[in-house]
Structure 1
Amino acid sequence: MRNIPLAGAAAALTVLAAQGRATARPGAPCQVPPLDPVALEAAVAGPPDSEVTGAILKVTGPAGNWQGVSGAGDLAANAPPALAGRFRIGAVTRLFTAAVVLRLAARGLVVLDEPVQRYLPGVLPGAYPEITVRRLLDHTSGLPDPGAPGDGDAAWFVAHRLDSWTMRELVANAVRGPMAAGPGTVQRENPLGYWLAGMLIEQVTGHAYTIEATRRILRPLRLAATVAPGRHDPDLPVPHATAHLAVREDGRTVLHDVTRQSPWRAADGGLISNAPDLTRFVMALFRGRVVPPPHLDEMFRVPDVPDVPMGGGPRFGLGLMRITGANGVVAWGHTGSLPGYATGLLATRDLSRVVVYALNSPSADSAEHATGIIAATFGG
């Protein structure tokens, strides 16, 4: 299987991470530059264009707050995006999934350094080595890259955007081949680990992943705009901006509305949220209200292994992605991308600055927009 072309938020983060690799310890204060409203306004300006049709940006911190939108939330009506509009958060979902697993670990229901085969017998081939739960969450499992269902182009996605698969089906399809690397030897971003983590949650609790995410995180934190949809629910609750995907047809580019799409990525990328809720979530998470210490510290622990294929040092803890700017500021969080969407949730460890952005991207070329937003927020 080949990957469906997705928006370039993750690539943007990689570019910035490569510019500087300070290794501040998790609890060290990060000296962010003063808030620069002019730079933020310039970073979010521009849409609608061929790369991004609409943008939402929310920056929060003790030094001040800033929020803004640009472009269109609805191309037909030419109305701006709503600041509190919902969007699909893609791989930002991993923060929620990792938090649920760590809450279970804090209760003694899951042991991070036990093999996942103990909890999910028969799911992985017998020839595979033991792979710990920790290695699923920090992308050092060595499992094969599952790719994405279908032939990988935008036209295929438009035609099949309502198709759905279970996490078990996705895992079974991915593990037909050999391991990509030995467990714990390299770090390679892989959604397969989070599908297995979602299955682990279901096995240990006896409930669907969507139920556990809602019961353990969304409801206690009163994240009213955040939804864990069932895999057969393609709808995006209002208010929301429309998402489009560009497809070449008869020599011209046609924008197809892909706002309604299957949330089949589930524990790896199925959640829906908005900027205020994501801000509230990361603040609660970093303050220890979601995952108790010392398990929270585990989220910020990045393994000392090579990062493949990006090169350089590793970037992922348990659910968290680390980015180091050229100015030495270290931010933690995640980016996400789905057809039509590019999102990001990043914060310094001390919460001196938090940013949430959401781009409606009809192409795979939104990296420049995301890079500009991240640089304007954290400097460098």
Structure 2
Amino acid sequence: MTTTAPRHRTTHDGTAHDRTAHRLARRAAVAVLAGAGLLAALAPSAAAAAPAAPVAPVAPAADRAALDAALRAVVEEGGSSAVLAEVRADGRTAWRGAAGVADLATGAPVPEDARFRIGSVTKTFAATVVLQLVGEHRIGLDDPVERHLPGLVPNGAAITVRQLLNHTSGIYNFTDDPRFATQGEEALDRWLTVGRWTTYRPVEVVRIATARPPYSAPGAAWHYSNTNYVLLGMIIEHVTGRGWDEEIERRIVRPLGLRGTSMPGTSPVVPGPHAHGYVERPSGGPADVTLQNPSAYGAAGAGISTTRDLARFNAALLDGRLLRPAELAAMKQQVATGQDITYGLGLSRYPTACGEFWGLSGGIAGYGTLVMGDAAGRRQVVVSINPYHLSEATGRTFQALVDTAACGSGGPTAG
């Protein structure tokens, strides 16, 4: 295998804004992407003391160089093969960049319009459909799971739709099961040769999870569980008579013109231009994991999209085009997680020195994504990375890029 030096391209279309320095608490969160499971830990930690100042609309011209440098550092210092990023303001691209290679073997540059696996950002799409159905009085947030999926979930009469959405159901996370493990050479080889090609039906995933004891009683504690969103996908199908992916296509993708967004079912392919995803083998060297059957993850994390599409989706969600005020307010109701961020109904809140941002992060083997936007839906930040050599620098450079894109002025200070 030959490795070509990373290449870097950017396009810009911006006007000036107030230069606002800000700081998000740093952690090497990207390291969790070594596993095949979907994890919620990619997003930058929120600085609890950061004031909620108004968000400036566009990155200033002087910040383009800082954004370009932060983008390159994710590849050159952070052990990622590729990174894509976009800042949108008032419905147009303020800055967009791509660095690195689409394929380590050929050295082909990653295109700015590349598609990528979005992992748990799929949850925000699914949650939006659920809340639209709430607004149509077809689902109640306090409906018990038993009402929509009778006999499927033990204690389903005590678990509500709201608890599925905000991860307080207590239901075991199926990706914690050993059959989905990728840590260690043996587990990774098993997943590479068998696991990533396996087709799972939603009911099979739920049975894997419910064969394990719950983490807690319903509503007693927060514990991230992809099983919650697999169940929500099943509820969408029960209520509408159509698959969760069809409802996302009908209610979100087509109306917003998200041409690069798809929910691939059992297909292992990333359609269109894309960067390969890699994980690092314990014995050394990256393993190409681009091809993988995402059927197990379903509404919890099977999606594929682009920076453009995710920015448009985030804007439409937060400016009220997709949800009524009551449902959007419910989506923003946060619960404590015992970590640095809070979690709502498929949406997290990130307070920064340049205002509150709302969005979600996602990780699936070879790919990591962060989407966030200001509360008015006027400014969005989207970052997709392909990390494979994970280190402290991975988290540091990713964090610096997010900081710079969110508030400009070169990101956080050292320390």
What TM-score do the two structures reach when normalised by structure 2?
Answer: 0.80
Of Structure 1 and Structure 2, which has the larger fraction of its residues in helix? 2
Read off the aligned partner of 1:334 and give its amino acid letter. L
Shift of 1:183: 2.2
| Residue aligning to 1:152 | 182
| Residue aligning to 2:164 | 136
Query: Residues 49 and 359 from structure 1, CA distance in 2 versus in 1: closer, same or farther, beyond 3 angstroms?
Result: same
Structure 2: where are the runs of 5+ without partners? Answer: 1-32
Distance in structure 2 (CA, Å) of the matches to 1:183 and 1:279: 34
Distance in structure 2 (CA, Å) of the matches to 1:162 and 1:324: 39
In structure 2, the residue corresponding to 1:161 is in which secondary structure? helix
Contact 1:22–1:330 (8 Å) recurs in 2? no
Match of 1:335 among 358, 361, 369: 361
Contact 1:339–1:362 (8 Å) recurs in 2? no
| Residue aligning to 1:277 | 309
Match of 2:99 among 57, 66, 70: 70
1:53-104 per-position Cα deviation (integer Å, ceiling 9, x unaligned) = 0111111114971111111112223222111110000000011000111111
| Residue aligning to 1:241 | 275
Distance in structure 2 (CA, Å) of the matches to 1:208 and 1:34: 40
Contact 1:138–1:318 (8 Å) recurs in 2? yes
1:271-307 per-position Cα deviation (integer Å, ceiling 9, x unaligned) = 111111111111111122112222122111113xx42
Contact 1:60–1:355 (8 Å) recurs in 2? yes
Q: CA RMSD in A?
A: 2.7
| Residue aligning to 1:261 | 292
- Which structure 2 residues correspond to residues 52-201 of structure 1 after superposition, within 5 A? 52-62=80-90, 65-126=94-155, 130-146=158-174, 147-148=176-177, 149-153=179-183, 154-159=188-193, 160-201=195-236
2:73 is equivalent to residue 42 of structure 1 = no
Shift of 1:113: 1.1
Contact 1:131–1:141 (8 Å) recurs in 2? yes
Shift of 1:23: 8.2
Match of 2:385 among 346, 351, 359: 359
Distance in structure 2 (CA, Å) of the matches to 1:229 and 1:240: 15
Contact 1:98–1:319 (8 Å) recurs in 2? yes
1:205-242 per-position Cα deviation (integer Å, ceiling 9, x unaligned) = 12222222211211121111111111x21111111111
Distance in structure 2 (CA, Å) of the matches to 1:75 and 1:49: 16
Structure 1: where are the runs of 5+ without partners? Answer: none
Shift of 1:125: 1.3
In structure 2, the residue corresponding to 1:323 is in which secondary structure? strand
Contact 1:135–1:184 (8 Å) recurs in 2? yes
Query: Residues 151 and 378 from structure 1, CA distance in 2 versus in 1: closer, same or farther, beyond 3 angstroms?
Result: closer
Match of 2:370 among 339, 344, 368: 344
